[in-house]
Amino acid sequence: MQSSPMDATTAVRLSLADADNDPLANRTDRALSVVKRGILTGRLRPGQQLIESEIAEMLGMSKTPVREALKTLVGSGLVSLSRYKGAVVRELDSAAAAAIYDLRILLEPEAVRRTVAGGSDLDTASTALDRALGAGEAGDEVEMSLANREFHRSLYLGCGNPLLVATLDGLKDQTALVSVSGWRAAGGWRTEADEHRAILDAARAGDSTRAADSLRDHIAGFVARVLPRLGRTVDPTDRNGPAEQTAG
């Protein structure tokens, strides 16, 4: 059964309610944070129109900062400009999704290997994994998605290369367009949690090579199981369709 689409106004309202609000952020950054969160959590779906005036009204600001925020999201690959709709959440086809995961599988294991070899603290990764497990048990896919993102980021953040971190951050953002809502097609959320646990166990043991290999197998397993099913553009709210896993 396919979930009912959420209108953009509701998605922005929910994302505003649970966003980390920085009192020092300017209006453009605030708009950027809220809309981006809506996309990353799957509340704003691929192909969904982003109307400047509606978002601005919801956020209590003029259209100018919203327009600037949407331009930034176009540059990061999360939003595209349609001739007829204006700004819309980007839709990915199978080729684009494969390219994103291909680059991620080339870069992220090495970043994790460096983090582990450097002896970085793993408490954040452990906490994020516990959050994901709790969210999975509760059926909270939004929280589970955010916790899994934090798990991965905490494992490559200490790689010692800010450009590599920024690149992986961007790739992780774009994978949200493929797979925010599910965990069903590629073995379920428990399978993902088990794979994350194996990565973390290797990292805790100081085995940088095993941690990197486990991560590579984790991402490659998703690619092998799910991406061949992407015969059309990806809608992560389609629970019976091809993209039903928050990979990695």
pLDDT surpasses 90 at 87 = yes
What mean pLDDT value characterizes the chain?
83
Confidence of residue 82 (pLDDT cuts 50, 70, 90): confident
Domains of the chain with bracketed CATH: 8-89 (1.10.10.10), 94-229 (1.20.120.530)
Residues in a beta bridge with 80: 88
pLDDT surpasses 60 at 56 = yes
Confidence of residue 236 (pLDDT cuts 50, 70, 90): very low
**In the chain, what's the furthest Cα-to-Cα distance?**
54
- pLDDT value at residue 244: 37
Pick the more confident residue, 1 or 135: 135
When pLDDT is averaged across residues 75-102 and rounded to a whole number, the result is 88
pLDDT surpasses 50 at 65 = yes
Confidence of residue 144 (pLDDT cuts 50, 70, 90): confident
When pLDDT is averaged across residues 197-214 and rounded to a whole number, the result is 98
